[in-house]
Structure 1
């Protein structure tokens, strides 16, 4: 199946203007197929010219162009030729389509809690032809009028205000001009909470079985929504442009959320049915802010071609964190950004697949998807922070307003965005843009005791990026000793830091202490040695986060012995007060450091140390009250549930005994405990069956897959592998959950026989699921816990295959790099 090329899109956009689209969907034909009727009205600027339509039906019944019947048999590779176009054209297409079960197209999912079905449209990046006939490219925007037929007890939400015109028949208001990938329809027996703010009707919707969770979460979600709505309207000086604003929590969603204008779709695990830690709540609030930012940047003004997709995401990423601080008052936002998002981006920068923020060639649509990563989000947002440091916030906001007003309901590219910024700043930004946007790689910053900040440029990606940042020194007791803002010019490899040479020899030195720039921090030996004794006493949470990220990054780069990280965890983790830091460090130790970077015989001790730290953290907040203490107790309990070998306590927790108050009756925590018991081979089939009977929810069904996958027996691994490879009924979420658990094993011998089978399994999955879904499974299915040269050889064989999609190969390449990092770390720090 060919992917639309940029050249084809440019030619078609030059030829056509799409004036209107009418889409009629019949979703009441059963669980596998739906009816689709499309009427497109479009202008051809060169009458008599030829082009093609994008369409991916199960059956194509009828195509009529300007009153003339076309032959449905002419459809090939999702393209239908259109010849001899008139100046004004009307095209009618009637087809049967297939519901998706991989999170793409019109996805249909059955809720096992009550056997009700739900449907939602996710048309990113090129899935629109799976739902309706279209010219599928972002710069052919048009208004959409959508009608939907559904079972009579269902309701419908979409881009336009929906009303039921007769039983089971819904009409959606005609939208403002939209790109094809923004069109969505969400249908099912939703439960809803509605409100209105500043003239904008608001709705929050979820599956019927999540009604209690919806009611519990809705007040906070509506509060965040209304405050962000006010904040963005103030900042951009443009009213919300898409009528109603709905947020639909949908099942089996591949990403976090999607910014469909007027109808945002969000993965429904974000609608907490049990206890949530503060960092989990923040992640949802930030997602709400992120998707709303897109209503202006991405939806009102859309990139012309997919190679500027990064700008949509970088802008929304930056704006969401800005809103969290300035409007929601969440001071921890930039700590979370550094701890979660920047770590993701730095990992992408270290991989062979690294790429510039902008200017990466996207000759076709699918190639753009491969660069949809932590560089597009976190690095891009960091670059925008550097742009603000370079031109000032007033100029930045003025430039954004100019850009949005100039291209409203249309398309724009990076050059036009930078032009608006340059006009507002009153100076050219060409050199700055080349340095920050046109080059790959992250500089490394190191601070020495003589008072010199040194920048090391990646050898494979030389660039001259200017940095505006600060550096800090902290005394042995954690007291601030020095803080200086410095500018490292594009032509400078070093810069002197005033006063640093006079700092105490035992001081902690922290480059980029406020985390303002994009660069990996390399800590000097004295600072590394002092961290176990000093980290917990630092009063600055951002500086502590920078140090934690530097430690974790150093482990991956082979600069820091993972055992030193464990020493810092022993001494400082339980005294940390930032929920995101607690959660992410705990996950890194249990999920990567212990099973990947340490040899198998040291992994149990690492987990035991993490479990002891979790007990210490729990003891620190025992008896305390308030949301902060409750959140900390949750992190402690979950970390313990991932690392403990105390089978008696774990079984007690599974039975509901001895739990923190917030976790009593929490099904998700019970499944986490059962997963750990299964990994310890301390869970029998009867206990698992009892848990499944007690929790018939979608979340419970998925968790049970994971519990079976981690069981360290030959029979369990064989059954798990065979199901993943052969069961075509598995949804995208089920396949991912199985893959996430498979390689868990205290003994590599148990799973080593499967290392050479990964490529064949991925090829089977690639045949029955979309690239987006299989790419995520490929990351989880990579044999990262079998840290051997033979695994690297097996990975090379996968990368040499020609039967895997580009996105899947990209996931394998990135995981292969982590394996190489682990091998290098073990060679340096454990050369046995």
Structure 2
């Protein structure tokens, strides 16, 4: 095993012998415009019961190690710096200093450096979770060794310089300025942070109960005109008030900066006092209400981490859910309760649970409280189980113990463990004390098992129904009863069931005339819903007439899951979407339905019928675009759907070109902004209707970083064997590609589903993935392994690789197994389709 891949056992042993008190960091990025590396040093004060330990650092060099004023020989294997000469006495405070040079990153791991093509400016920011703090400064790379951190950064004089704490000093130095920041309260290393560059800043204030808190919203200067800081600050103030009151601890980290950064490899990161977000949340063009809600949800998710994760932190990554499941739940809960987005639970039912259901059916699924033996496993567990399934079962838990008791328990938890580390029993104890309930059976059933239950109803004689569950767990299920009345499905009552039986006869009789029997109508439980045939027919005809958006989300999810399982024909699913999507007024549900329709054609339709269905879907999307309400979210959603459909079928190429060139009128109210232009142009490129000259011309109109990324995708999308071969080679071999640029090339390779252009690379893929895993960072390697997996018509190559690479790293095998499962599902569902 690589020394970079820290294990749970060895870090636990290290923590048992070390008491870390402070870390003083000094970074020098004055040469960021030209240098490949930067000077970095960390000084630790600690107590030790052993004579030696190690400190983590991955960089260009380790130049000096000093222990209690004595220089020591540098013993560094590229990941661990051996520290000797410690006094094995917990009463003795040791001082250890390590100086070296770190390397700038383009993969979003460590200190990421980005040059803005719009104005030539350079920006830096850090991203550490779970274990990339060691790429920037020496540290103890484990969450249970917290410290008070003092940060200093030397940077060009004109740049903004930020860290977790407030700036306390700024002095001129040769070629720049040295900025020092206030000492933090105890923090784990992975949530420390630095950002510097000519960022644009908007200031604000939150009037908290303990006095005003300074707020900041930042982005690159070239994006300043798109930054809707007022809305972001409004959501921020609402959230800080809500969480401070709900958790009984006022926001504890001083100032609160939120910075939108380029090429980040996650949606956001909860560094206290300096939260980083993907700048895709800075909308350059038209954005739907669902996009605004999604941004607010992420803001509130990261804010919840200020308590769940930052104030109280899991001891090791087994309990990653202690922060991510809670933050995912709190993001939706706070968006509804305080954020001004009352439909957030609708989006949760459709998107987050959909992600969880997919993840939980993979052969590599795991319990919410997972077994994480090492850091590679931790990296891959930021998944739909830890986030969305965990949040789903927390929603059940809140209902089970009561919302008041749940928040009382949370307040007990924070009061007892502030600035410390916890495990599952600590949380359960707090919730049990507050609710008076024994939560051990619930935790055993929901947190320590894996897999998703199937939930259905069977109509039996006498007008009753039976609730049928596979793999039953204790929960409360509400079954909605809907009658068809005047062309609408109207709710006429409900039945409820509690228990753990696989089959339960519901007490009440179903009234006559009930067309739809909908289990989990309120989306409270976590289970895949299967509708009986009578109910499927009812929703095929009248789905869009159901008033309750959550119930519609459950129905849409049920139809999609049935399609993925091969139980509902792709044509029936498409018919339902074609009939009801134009009438869907929740844009999140609409967007999901459109994306699923596209996926159903590309993944699950038989090859001989795919082109027919693709043409039909393009025509449907085109007509819906023409008739959508001008300026509406639905109009924008359909415009994007047209672009996705046009990647596979060129029937509307002339009309799309006409609008892009200004020769044909654009539908009234539709903003043909750069984002939409690139979607349509990439579709034209993928079908051979846009040349390299056309794509270069578009880049001249949009010479931004977003334009540059879209340009890469469009260029690689051209349906020419040599173009795709060159893009394939570039993805694997060009180590200068940033994570976003790599994603752009991969998207081009896969554009239009042109298996005829990429099938020759199947064997090459399996020859490359293990060397890539060894030679590239896990973030880049993960993108290659997932993004370029062959969508072949056979499992032979992947099975052969798995058989001959039983000794491959467990994290790599997990990714390959997951991709194999997806391909096997695709082939299985295609084979189950009836002929047209």
Which of the five TM-score ranges fits, normalised by the shorter chain? over 0.9
Provide the residue aligned with 1:824 in structure 2. 828
Q: Are positions 1:538 and 2:551 aligned together? A: no
Kept in 1, the 8 Å contact 2:692–2:715? The answer is no
2-side partners of 1:75 and 1:68: how far apart? 21
2-side partners of 1:662 and 1:142: how far apart? 54
Kept in 1, the 8 Å contact 2:604–2:826? The answer is yes
Residues 113-147 of structure 1: per-residue CA shift (max 9 Å, x gap): 11211111111111111111111110111111111
Q: Are positions 1:254 and 2:265 aligned together? A: yes
Provide the residue aligned with 1:811 in structure 2. 815
Provide the residue aligned with 2:201 in structure 1. 192
Kept in 2, the 8 Å contact 1:75–1:81? The answer is no
Provide the residue aligned with 2:449 in structure 1. 439
Kept in 2, the 8 Å contact 1:247–1:264? The answer is yes
Q: Are positions 1:180 and 2:189 aligned together? A: yes
Residue ranges of structure 1 left out of the alignment (5+ in a row): 459-463, 624-628
Match of 1:384 among 375, 394, 405: 394
Match of 2:678 among 658, 664, 671: 671
The equivalences for 1:540-559 within 5 A come to: 540-559=548-567
Kept in 2, the 8 Å contact 1:62–1:70? The answer is yes
Q: Are positions 1:566 and 2:571 aligned together? A: no
* SS at 1:193 equivalent: strand
Provide the residue aligned with 2:279 in structure 1. 268
1-side partners of 2:585 and 2:672: how far apart? 26
Kept in 1, the 8 Å contact 2:587–2:633? The answer is yes
Greater CA deviation, 232-241 or 7-16? 7-16
The runs of 4+ residues in structure 1 deviating greater than 6 Å are: none
Q: 1:193 to 1:465 in 2, by over 3 A?
A: same
Cα distance, 1:511 vs. partner?
0.8
Match of 1:717 among 711, 720, 724: 724
Provide the residue aligned with 1:52 in structure 2. 54
Match of 2:494 among 465, 474, 484: 484
Kept in 2, the 8 Å contact 1:105–1:122? The answer is yes
Cα distance, 1:390 vs. partner?
1.6
Q: Are positions 1:89 and 2:94 aligned together? A: yes
Q: Are positions 1:278 and 2:289 aligned together? A: yes
The equivalences for 1:9-48 within 5 A come to: 9-29=11-31, 30-44=34-48, 46=49, 48=50
2-side partners of 1:282 and 1:812: how far apart? 34
Residue ranges of structure 2 left out of the alignment (5+ in a row): none
Q: 1:453 to 1:341 in 2, by over 3 A?
A: farther
Q: 1:706 to 1:798 in 2, by over 3 A?
A: farther
The equivalences for 1:595-674 within 5 A come to: 595-623=602-630, 630-644=632-646, 645-656=651-662, 657-660=664-667, 663-664=670-671, 666-674=673-681
Provide the residue aligned with 2:384 in structure 1. 374
1-side partners of 2:713 and 2:562: how far apart? 31
Cα distance, 1:831 vs. partner?
7.8
The equivalences for 1:295-334 within 5 A come to: 295-334=306-345
Provide the residue aligned with 1:365 in structure 2. 375
2-side partners of 1:655 and 1:537: how far apart? 40
2-side partners of 1:756 and 1:745: how far apart? 21
2-side partners of 1:35 and 1:661: how far apart? 55
* SS at 1:829 equivalent: coil
Cα distance, 1:103 vs. partner?
0.7
Kept in 2, the 8 Å contact 1:692–1:704? The answer is yes
Q: 1:535 to 1:98 in 2, by over 3 A?
A: same
Q: Are positions 1:239 and 2:250 aligned together? A: yes
Kept in 2, the 8 Å contact 1:144–1:176? The answer is yes
* SS at 2:751 equivalent: coil
Kept in 2, the 8 Å contact 1:650–1:673? The answer is yes
Match of 2:789 among 777, 782, 785: 782
Q: 1:422 to 1:168 in 2, by over 3 A?
A: same
1-side partners of 2:776 and 2:116: how far apart? 20
Kept in 2, the 8 Å contact 1:49–1:83? The answer is yes
Provide the residue aligned with 2:140 in structure 1. 135
Residues 697-735 of structure 1: per-residue CA shift (max 9 Å, x gap): 111111111112222221211111121122121111111
Q: 1:485 to 1:437 in 2, by over 3 A?
A: farther
Match of 1:728 among 735, 752, 761: 735
Cα distance, 1:622 vs. partner?
3.4
Cα distance, 1:792 vs. partner?
4.9
* SS at 2:607 equivalent: coil
Cα distance, 1:677 vs. partner?
0.3
Kept in 2, the 8 Å contact 1:471–1:485? The answer is yes
2-side partners of 1:492 and 1:600: how far apart? 38
* SS at 2:10 equivalent: helix
2-side partners of 1:799 and 1:806: how far apart? 14
* SS at 1:448 equivalent: strand
Q: Are positions 1:207 and 2:217 aligned together? A: no
Give TM-score, length-normalised by structure 2: 0.94
* SS at 1:704 equivalent: helix
Q: Are positions 1:220 and 2:231 aligned together? A: yes
Cα distance, 1:661 vs. partner?
5.7
Give the superposed CA RMSD.
Answer: 2.0
Q: 1:160 to 1:303 in 2, by over 3 A?
A: same
* SS at 2:634 equivalent: helix
Provide the residue aligned with 1:63 in structure 2. 65
* SS at 1:202 equivalent: strand
Q: Are positions 1:694 and 2:701 aligned together? A: yes
Cα distance, 1:599 vs. partner?
2.2
* SS at 1:252 equivalent: coil
Kept in 2, the 8 Å contact 1:311–1:380? The answer is no
Cα distance, 1:452 vs. partner?
2.7
Kept in 1, the 8 Å contact 2:457–2:531? The answer is yes
Q: 1:796 to 1:482 in 2, by over 3 A?
A: farther
Cα distance, 1:741 vs. partner?
2.8
Q: 1:453 to 1:285 in 2, by over 3 A?
A: farther
1-side partners of 2:775 and 2:113: how far apart? 15
* SS at 1:385 equivalent: helix
Give TM-score, length-normalised by structure 1: 0.94
Cα distance, 1:83 vs. partner?
4.2
Greater CA deviation, 601-610 or 688-697? 601-610
1-side partners of 2:507 and 2:376: how far apart? 46
* SS at 2:637 equivalent: helix
